[in-house]
């Protein structure tokens, strides 16, 4: 018996959350390894932390956001470490997730919003993400992918046609810092950014400002110059670090090294925005 079929009714009410800061763990712990592999290959099922409604910060207009589980990065400042493990996500069929999205179709049109897939890292489930975006496009819904960019080569150019906007997180410019903050190389992220530029795909760069970690002006300038050189970056969102996810590290028994880091002041955020603006970019 396919264990996953036990979960296929995929409690849609359970999927909804007020925000992604709800701690969710072990929702797929009983699913066999072979069922997970098969789901990842076909993309007919996925693993989601939640669906949230009414976001005004994850792309243009008001958005529905699907938060995927699974992330290969281990960012020191991650505020949703429960999304790192794929098995923490709620198993959903492609059909179920599409039906969930369809509920909001008219509202999204009226509010000139759309559908964003974030995470975790959505491209850990690249086939499911492409299938879901394909269905969203069939419904005439604007689509945005929020990604750390390192698995961008899992998407073909045809796959990318289903994505109207890429929200590309650039965590650091210096390769050593990038590795220190995320555990991974920055090169695949920058390569994906360059490929998106060649394809003239709309991109919003996202940069998390963490005092004492990512606020070095030289480092910020490196990202700003690179982003400006691409020609397809429509805006930069400077996201102030916050401590809303601190409790999750504790609940998950994970060592959290940013325990005592304070969020940046509005002046610090403005200072970093001005570095991006000096390169001709819109920054908020």
Residues 6+ apart with CB under 8 A from 117: 65, 66, 68, 129, 132, 133, 143, 144, 145, 146
User: With CB under 6 A as the contact rule, which of the stretches 2-10, 67-75, 122-130, 133-141 interacts with ligand SF4?
Assistant: 67-75
80 is an interface residue for ligand SF4 by CB under 6 A: yes
CB of 184 to ligand SF4, least distance (A): 9
Side by side, the strands of the sheet bearing 45-55 are 90-93, 45-55, 63-68, 114-118, 142-147, 165-169, 202-209, 233-240
Beta carbon nearer to ligand SF4, 26 or 95: 26
As measured in angstroms, the least distance from the Cβ of 5 to ligand SF4 is: 29
Instruction: State which residue, 73 or 115, has the beta carbon closest to ligand SF4.
Output: 73
Task: Please identify, using beta-carbon distances, which residue of 108 and 170 lies nearer to ligand SF4.
Answer: 170
Distance (Å) of CA 135 to CA 75, 151, 165, 258: 31, 22, 16, 39
261 secondary structure, DSSP code = P
Q: Where are the beta strands (DSSP E) in 135-269?
A: 142-147, 165-169, 202-209, 233-240
Tell which one of 15, 39, 71, 170 touches ligand SF4 (CB under 6 A): 71
State the nearest-atom distance from the C-beta of 61 to ligand SF4, in Å. 23
User: Which of residues 96 and 119 has its CB atom nearest to ligand SF4 in the complex?
Assistant: 119
Choice from 74, 180, 187, 250 touching ligand SF4 (CB under 6 A) = 74
Task: Compute the least distance from the CB of residue 163 to ligand SF4, in Å.
Answer: 18
Is 83 a residue that touches ligand SF4 (CB under 6 A)? yes
Q: How far is the CB of 78 from ligand SF4 (least distance, A)?
A: 3
Please give the span between the terminal C-alpha atoms of the chain, in angstroms, as a whole number. Answer: 51
Question: What is the closest distance, in whole angstroms, from the C-beta atom of residue 90 to ligand SF4 in the complex?
Answer: 17
Q: Kindly calculate the radius of gyration of the chain based on its CA atoms and give it in whole angstroms.
A: 18
With binding defined as CB under 6 A, does residue 245 bind ligand SF4? no
| Cα–Cα distance for residue pair 197/261, rounded to 1 Å | 35
* Triad 91, 55, 124: Cα angle to 5°: 35
Minimum distance from residue 232 beta carbon to ligand SF4 (Å): 22
73 binds ligand SF4 (CB under 6 A): yes
50 binds ligand SF4 (CB under 6 A): no
**Integer Cα distance of 282 and 98 in angstroms:** 33
The SS3 of residue 278 is: coil
Which residues inside 103-142 make contact with ligand SF4, applying CB under 6 A? Answer: 119-121
What is the DSSP pairing of strand 90-93 with strand 202-209? unpaired
- Cα–Cα distance, 58 to 116 (Å, whole number): 7
Q: Copy the structure tokens of residue 271.
A: 């200072």
Q: How far is the CB of 222 from ligand SF4 (least distance, A)?
A: 19
Task: Please pick, from the candidates 48, 62, 64, 78, the single residue that binds ligand SF4 as defined by CB under 6 A.
Answer: 78
Of the residues 36, 75, 167, 205, which one makes contact with ligand SF4 according to CB under 6 A: 75
Residues forming contacts to ligand SF4 in the complex (CB under 6 A) are 71, 73-75, 78, 80, 83, 119-121, 148
């Amino acid at each position: 018996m396919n264990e996953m079929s036990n979960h296929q009714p995929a409690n849609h009410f359970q999927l909804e959350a007020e925000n992604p800061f709800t701690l969710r763990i072990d929702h797929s712990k009983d699913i066999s390894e072979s069922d997970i592999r098969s789901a990842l290959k076909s993309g007919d099922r996925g693993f989601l932390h939640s669906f949230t409604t009414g976001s005004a910060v994850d792309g243009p207009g008001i958005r529905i956001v699907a938060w995927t589980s699974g992330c290969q990065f281990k960012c020191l400042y991650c505020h949703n470490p429960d999304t790192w493990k794929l098995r923490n996500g709620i198993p959903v069929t492609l059909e179920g997730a599409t039906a969930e999205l369809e509920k909001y179709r008219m509202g999204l049109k009226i509010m000139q919003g759309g559908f964003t897939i974030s995470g975790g890292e959505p491209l850990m489930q690249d086939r499911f993400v492409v299938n879901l975006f394909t269905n969203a496009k069939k419904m005439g819904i604007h689509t945005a992918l929020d990604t750390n960019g390192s698995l961008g080569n899992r998407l073909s150019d045809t796959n990318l046609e289903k994505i109207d906007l890429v929200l590309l997180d650039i965590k650091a410019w210096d390769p050593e810092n990038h590795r220190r903050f995320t555990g991974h190389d920055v090169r695949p992220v920058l390569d994906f950014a360059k490929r998106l530029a060649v394809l003239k795909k709309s991109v919003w760069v996202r940069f998390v400002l963490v005092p004492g970690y990512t606020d070095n002006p030289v480092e910020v300038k490196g990202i700003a110059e690179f982003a400006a050189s691409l020609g397809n970056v429509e805006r930069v969102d400077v996201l102030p670090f916050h401590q809303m996810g601190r409790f999750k590290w504790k609940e998950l028994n994970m060592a959290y090294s940013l325990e005592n880091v304070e969020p940046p002041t509005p002046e610090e955020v403005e200072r970093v925005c001005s570095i991006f603006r000096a390169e001709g970019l819109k920054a908020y």
